[in-house]
Structure 1
Amino acid sequence: MEETVMMQAIMGLIVHSGNTKSECMEAIQLAKKGRITEAKKKINMANEALTEAHHSQTALLTQEARGEKVEVSMLLIHAQDHLMNAITFRDLAQEMIELYERIKGE
């Protein structure tokens, strides 16, 4: 894979994973204020950003599957770390929104 294309994939992972986490944080804050519908919309936006991050990751995995070497660098490891954290954060945000929804509904 050309170095520029690889860097774009890595930066895509970092940027979209960061956007996922930001949307989730906003969703949690909205749910905390009882604005559950808006919080769920933010989670949907987070899911869209996460899908974009997965597209970046898929580009790298596809290359590897074709037998083309993907050079492992600190930046790639950092990007993968961002993705895993974004997924975990999204899952926890969804749980927190559900809890706030139950609390506010009672």
Structure 2
Amino acid sequence: MEALENVSFQIISYAGSAKAKCYEALQAVKAGDFEKAELLLKEGQELFIEAHKVHTQLIQKEANNEAVTPTLLLIHAEDQLMNAEISREYLLEIIALQKEVAQLKKEK
């Protein structure tokens, strides 16, 4: 149980940090700092990759017929991962639109 709790907390931590980086990137774009936004998005992507690596370990464990008993904490971790991923996709679209607006304003 302790190992599963640790894995769950890792997923929650990586996913939450990744999501936060995406929101920070949005704020940077709104402030006109596109370079900072790109850096933050890259950092966020690296955190997403780490979250997925941890999650994939659980999937591989179950694929090898090792029991992975779902707990409320694991369900919460997977929910956080999914929520962060969906938020990231929306934020990438919003950031792209913000960049386009900034470019149009610049051309005026």
TM class, shorter-length: over 0.9
| Secondary structure in 2 matching 1:71 | coil
2:17 maps to which of 19, 31, 45: 19
1:56 maps to which of 51, 54, 57: 54
Total equivalences in the alignment: 104
TM-fit CA distance, 1:9: 1.3
State the AA in 1 paired with 2:18: T
| CA RMSD, Structure 1 to Structure 2 (Å) | 0.9
Flag the structure with larger Rg: 2
Could you tell me whether the CA contact under 8 Å between 2:4 and 2:74 is conserved in 1?
A: no
TM-fit CA distance, 1:33: 1.1
Q: Greater CA deviation, 34-43 or 15-24?
A: 34-43
Aligned to 1:39: 37
Could you tell me whether the CA contact under 8 Å between 1:43 and 1:90 is conserved in 2?
A: no
TM-fit CA distance, 1:36: 1.4
TM-fit CA distance, 1:31: 0.7
TM-fit CA distance, 1:59: 1.1
For residues 27-79 of structure 1, the C-alpha deviation after alignment (integer angstroms, 9 at most, x for no partner) is: 11111111112111111111000001001101110110000111111101000
Specify every segment of 5 or more residues in structure 1 that has no aligned partner in the other structure, as ranges. none
Identity across the alignment (%): 33
TM-fit CA distance, 1:80: 0.2
State the AA in 2 paired with 1:10: S
For residues 56-105 of structure 1, the C-alpha deviation after alignment (integer angstroms, 9 at most, x for no partner) is: 10111011000011111110100000000110111111111111110001
Aligned to 1:103: 101
1:68 maps to which of 66, 69, 81: 66
Specify every segment of 5 or more residues in structure 2 that has no aligned partner in the other structure, as ranges. none
Could you tell me whether the CA contact under 8 Å between 1:19 and 1:49 is conserved in 2?
A: yes
